[in-house]
Structure 1
Amino acid sequence: MKSTLPLSGRAASAAAAATHVSSNQKVWLSRLVFGLLLVFCLTPWASPPVALALGLVLAQTVGNPFPAFTKQYTAKLLQFSVIGLGFGMNAYSAVQAGRQGILFTVCSIFGTLLLGYVAGRWLKLGRHLTHLISCGTAICGGSAIAAVGPVLRAKDEEMSVALATVFVLNAIALFAFPAIGHAFSLTQQQFGLWCAIAIHDTSSVVGAAAAYGKDALEVATTVKLARALWIIPVALGTAILFKQQDVKVKIPWFILGFIGAMLLNTYLPATHYVGPWLVKSAHIGLTITLFFIGAGLSVRAIKSVGPKPFALGVLLWLVISSVSLYVILHA
């Protein structure tokens, strides 16, 4: 017995050491793969849909080795990228695109919020979670959820589920919408307007529109950012509806940066020398943003959604997508 214990102890120590080495190898492997894919996203061969797909593959295989880093910089990188895109747009064309989308914006936002309320009660979901998913679908995905969540004083679990629901559907939309647009022979203007209305996050809207064409990108970005401004009245309305007091509404200031860049590009000829470089950098930034988003969609994040919240998200998304497409085709 005396000789058996040391042997078993040494065996346990050896097994623990082997497990530790294996764990370290996995960490270094995930870091290496992450680095190589990130470098690839900087090349001309990468595109937003490809970057998102690579991020998803990374998350489902070796895992994201820097989850805190990607989560922290995703929103900031997207904001700077959107501002950079403004240096490639004309203010007159943007105003015209905004006029086309304003009626769509108002009707779709309030229609989605109302449908979400009814469907949420039918599915017996909590009011906070229902409202978060509805706002994310109606306005601008994760940005709207991040703005409305503190107003609701929503729990971390509710925020996580709402964000995961929106990000999963964003990933699907980024791949599906350009194919659907070509199948229905949508024009550049029609597709830009449709994806700005029907896709949740600004990142996926810009990615899908960029894959469809330059004019689609201009329309989609302008309409989507005008739509994002509705975060402010919806958040204030949320505070009143849910009887919340002493809350702060997060204003999407980067939209003002986009407008400023667009005005400089339109009225200041000197910016035309640096504008193309800034736009190119913005596209690279958007590509990296979508890689970060894909890398954050782990199996655990997807499983955390649950059937009912995901059913609500899918229902709202299908309704707003199909109705807006029908109106655009027959308007």
Structure 2
Amino acid sequence: MSREHKGFTKAISDILPGFIVSLLVALISMFLAKFVPNLGAASIAIFLGMFVGNVFLNQDIFQKGYKFSETDLLSYSIVLLGATLSISTISDIGFSGILFIILQMSITLIGVIYIGNKLGFSKNFSYLMASGNAVCGSSAIAATAPVIDADDREKGIAVTIVNVTGIVLMFLLPLLTQLLYKHNITQTSGMIGGILQSVGQVVASGAMVSEHVKDMSMIFKIVRIIFLVVVVFALGHLKHKSNKEILEEEVDDIERGKIKVPWYVIGFFITCALFSLHIISPQVSLLAKNISNKLEIIALAAIGLRVNIRDLIQQGKAATIYAVSVGTLQIISAIILIALLIR
């Protein structure tokens, strides 16, 4: 057996236990959703996953499979989602929607850094928190860390706090948008897609409201992700503004594609373009939507399985204040901007 074959076999065996659990939770959720359709398979998958993961199956053997199910399957789901949306649908958010995202991200970046400084956190940590909350959670933190020379400890704590904040907001925003907007599709989608930290949280929170909100929330989120390169460069510039050589290295990294937009965003736009040009037929689009929905529910089950309730409880006082302050800032700024820009 070749080394490559052995490596592939080991990778599959590492992923399989967690994937099987995620799949089973998703299948049970889809079955239960037939009896409680108002709750929906997506919401059931998250809650059931949280219960199973924290009470029974949180051992290390399952973690790689949970991560694969959450990240990889959700990425495939997003690419397939593009095959169900036309360019005209994406344009529904319009210039005002894009302006909302730019302003919301800018306020988040500036506000998170300011709050971090006031609470006495290091500059690196504040920058990681800023990128994670402004763009796309753990992925943005991972892209920013090497540019600002953050260490693994700073990165790990930032990822934990950003994810904890996102989990709380994931459940809070559907309730808040019901109160504020009676779940108006565009305004609700702007709130969810413009605030939540990770792609999975956006999908989960949007799915708690409706299929249309979930899809449009993803469009708002994808616009944020496209600005990842800009955010990483801006934070690198702030950190190294007195060092011309390091700045030149950052520009070189961006030009060489070392800091890049995630592949699934590119895939989303490709399948969206193919559907808009009628290269993807309505029948294929319907199949893509069905597969995308199933992958999404498996991914949401994995998100629930990976939520560690102890992490939510064990955050230190300063970190909790930071997280609450950031979440409050994002909600208030989004409410104001939506009132001004999105109807």
Give the TM-score range, shorter chain.
Answer: 0.7 to 0.9
Structure 1: stretches of 5+ with no match in the other structure: 1-29
- Aligned 8 A contact 2:83 2:280 in 1: no
Residues 177-188 of structure 1 aligned to structure 2 (within 5 Å)? 177-184=173-180, 185-188=182-185
Structure 1 range deviating more: 264-273 or 228-237: 264-273
281, 288, 291: which one pairs with 2:298?
288
**What's 1:76 paired with?**
72
How big is the shift at 1:304? 5.8
**What's 2:169 paired with?**
173
Normalised by the size of structure 1, how large is the TM-score?
0.82
124, 131, 154: which one pairs with 1:128?
124
**What's 2:111 paired with?**
115
Change (3 A) 1:306 1:258: same
- Looking at structure 1, the residues matched to 29 and 173 of structure 2 have their Cα atoms a distance apart, in angstroms, of 22
Larger-Rg structure = 1
Change (3 A) 1:49 1:98: farther
- Looking at structure 1, the residues matched to 187 and 210 of structure 2 have their Cα atoms a distance apart, in angstroms, of 11
- Looking at structure 2, the residues matched to 275 and 75 of structure 1 have their Cα atoms a distance apart, in angstroms, of 23
- Aligned 8 A contact 1:188 1:212 in 2: no
Residues 76-225 of structure 1 aligned to structure 2 (within 5 Å)? 76-184=72-180, 185-225=182-222
Change (3 A) 1:214 1:68: closer
Normalised by the size of structure 2, how large is the TM-score?
0.79
**What's 1:306 paired with?**
316
**What's 1:27 paired with?**
none
Structure 1 range deviating more: 127-136 or 60-69: 60-69
Secondary structure of the 2:136 match is coil
Change (3 A) 1:33 1:215: closer
Q: Percent identity?
A: 22
**What's 1:21 paired with?**
none
**What's 1:238 paired with?**
235
What CA deviation, in whole Å up to 9, does each residue of 1:277-309 have, x standing for no partner?
A: 211221222222222222222245435643323
Change (3 A) 1:98 1:146: farther
**What's 1:53 paired with?**
47
Secondary structure of the 1:116 match is helix
What CA deviation, in whole Å up to 9, does each residue of 1:137-162 have, x standing for no partner?
A: 11122221222123233222222222
- Looking at structure 1, the residues matched to 280 and 84 of structure 2 have their Cα atoms a distance apart, in angstroms, of 13
- Looking at structure 1, the residues matched to 22 and 210 of structure 2 have their Cα atoms a distance apart, in angstroms, of 29
- Aligned 8 A contact 2:19 2:69 in 1: no
Secondary structure of the 1:88 match is coil
- Looking at structure 2, the residues matched to 316 and 52 of structure 1 have their Cα atoms a distance apart, in angstroms, of 24
* Count of aligned pairs between the two proteins: 303
- Aligned 8 A contact 2:207 2:213 in 1: yes
Change (3 A) 1:127 1:183: same
- Looking at structure 2, the residues matched to 152 and 305 of structure 1 have their Cα atoms a distance apart, in angstroms, of 24
Structure 1 range deviating more: 287-296 or 42-51: 42-51
- Aligned 8 A contact 1:91 1:263 in 2: yes
**What's 2:285 paired with?**
275
1:320 paired with 2:330, answer: yes
Structure 1 range deviating more: 268-277 or 225-234: 268-277
**What's 1:3 paired with?**
none
Q: Amino acid of the residue matched to residue 49 of structure 1? A: S
What CA deviation, in whole Å up to 9, does each residue of 1:161-204 have, x standing for no partner?
A: 22222222222223222222222224111111111112221222
What CA deviation, in whole Å up to 9, does each residue of 1:35-77 have, x standing for no partner?
A: 7424425657263322222222223212423112222442222
Secondary structure of the 1:154 match is coil
What CA deviation, in whole Å up to 9, does each residue of 1:89-119 have, x standing for no partner?
A: 1211212314232111111112111111111
Structure 2: stretches of 5+ with no match in the other structure: 1-17, 34-39, 241-245
What do you get for the CA RMSD once the two structures are aligned? 2.7
- Looking at structure 2, the residues matched to 52 and 88 of structure 1 have their Cα atoms a distance apart, in angstroms, of 24
Secondary structure of the 1:124 match is coil
How big is the shift at 1:225? 0.2
What CA deviation, in whole Å up to 9, does each residue of 1:234-271 have, x standing for no partner?
A: 11222332235466324312111101111122211543
- Looking at structure 2, the residues matched to 238 and 210 of structure 1 have their Cα atoms a distance apart, in angstroms, of 32
Structure 1 range deviating more: 137-146 or 32-41: 32-41
**What's 2:56 paired with?**
62
